[in-house]
Every structure is written in C-alpha cells, then in structure tokens.
Amino acid sequence: MVKLKKEIEELIDSSKYQEAAELVAKEFGITMTAEFMESRKYFDDDKEERDVYSITLCVGSRSYKFKFGQSLNDSGFYVLQGKRKTYLDRTKIKTRQDAIMHINALAGPINMYRGIVFDANIDTIHFPVVPTMYDILTCLTKYDPDSFENFCSEYGYDTMSDKAEKTYNAVYDEWLNVSRLFSDEQLEVLQLIQ
C-alpha cells in the first residue's frame, strides 16, 4: 500500500485527479455504474435543478447503491440561445453523436425546435456529463463521523438543529456503507482522493 499511496500522491500533486481515482479503482477492483434518474433540485438549498444519478459501487461481492447530485456545471441537456435555455429530451441520448443527430432531426431543415430557431452548432448545445470515478470517490465519506455532538462541533452545526441531525444521519449512513466496502488500509488510500 505504501507504493500505491506514493503513486496516488504523485498523480494528485500533478493535478491528475481522474487518473488517481482510476488507479485506486483498478487496484481495489472498484466498478461503478451511473444511471441517470432525473433533473431536480437535489440539495435543500439548491436554487437550480441538477442531474440526479443512481450510483452503484461494487468491490468484489459487496455493493453500495446511492443517489448522487451532479454538479450544476455538468448537469442538463439544453440549447443556449443568448440567455435563453431550451431543455432537450435526455431519453434520446446514449452518446454525444446520438445527441447531435437528435437535435438535428428535431430542428429540421429550418433549425427550429420548440418555437426557437437555432444553429445546431455543437457550441450552442450543453451536454450532460455522467459522474466519473473521481467525482464519486472524492465525495464519499471516508472518515468515521463519530458522535452527533462531535460531528456538530467539528463542522459548526448546532446540536439542536433538525437539519444538522438529518445531515449527520446521512453522513453516518454513508460511512457505514463505505466502511463495509473497504478495509481500513484501503480507506487510508481513498482518503487521498479529495
């Protein structure tokens, strides 16, 4: 594990975050599936919709399935025309080429879709980005959150807050699942992915 840690640290120091995550996944036999579920407000304080995925991580015969709210920057399939966003049907997307063909077919010869005229140039289309291994591994809870009181003290939450309790319960549940997937030694390496 010492050699692996050193390789991971070197990749991270070189800003090769995705490569570091892929190396960890390869070494630990981690597989991941990401299935698009819907676009919606995911976090309590979201002001915009984001893409929500069902993520399944597998290590050997063990697995952990959870929901993941993608970054706003990587969410959505839409055409921009000035400041106007026109959302497109995600069910038609399997590949980037499928999306281009779908938009061209919808736009037709006069480049009109849903009442707007646009140039079906690739630069005017925002394509959704499926979460990567790095996106997922960096967001996992890789440390034991300890007691509710210690958690609140560490992160500045009020122990009388319902929101703090809800957050703690979600973090603790994730910790239990992550600690079932990985050994203590593996968790030490995963802690480098942040």
Could you count the other beta carbons within 10 Å of the beta carbon of residue 82? 6
Biggest distance spanned by C-alpha atoms of the chain: 63
Q: How confident is the model at residue 74 (pLDDT cuts 50, 70, 90)?
A: very high
Return the closest-CA partner of residue 139 out of 42, 11, 29, 61.
Answer: 42
φ/ψ (deg, to 5) at 58: -125, 140
2/97 Cα distance (integer angstroms): 43
Q: State which amino acid sits at residue 38.
A: E
Phi-psi label, residue 115: left if phi above 0, alpha if psi -120 to 50, beta otherwise: left
Contact at 8 Å (CB) between 133 and 126? no
Q: What is the pTM of this model?
A: 0.83
Q: Render pLDDT for 51-66 as a digit per residue (tens, 0 to 9).
A: 999 999 999 999 999 9
Question: pLDDT by residue (tens digit) across 122-134?
Answer: 446 788 899 999 9
How far is residue 3's CA from residue 17's CA, in Å, rounded to a whole number? 17
- The closest of 125, 107, 130 to 117, measured between CA atoms, is 107
Token pair belonging to 194: 């942040």
Contact call for residues 99 and 79 (beta carbons, < 8 A): no
- Please report which confidence band the pLDDT of residue 121 belongs to, taking 50, 70 and 90 as the band edges: very low
pLDDT in tens, 157-187: 999 999 999 999 999 999 999 999 999 999 9
Average pLDDT, the chain: 87
**What pLDDT sits at residue 44?**
87
What is the Cα–Cα distance from 95 to 116, expressed in whole angstroms? 24
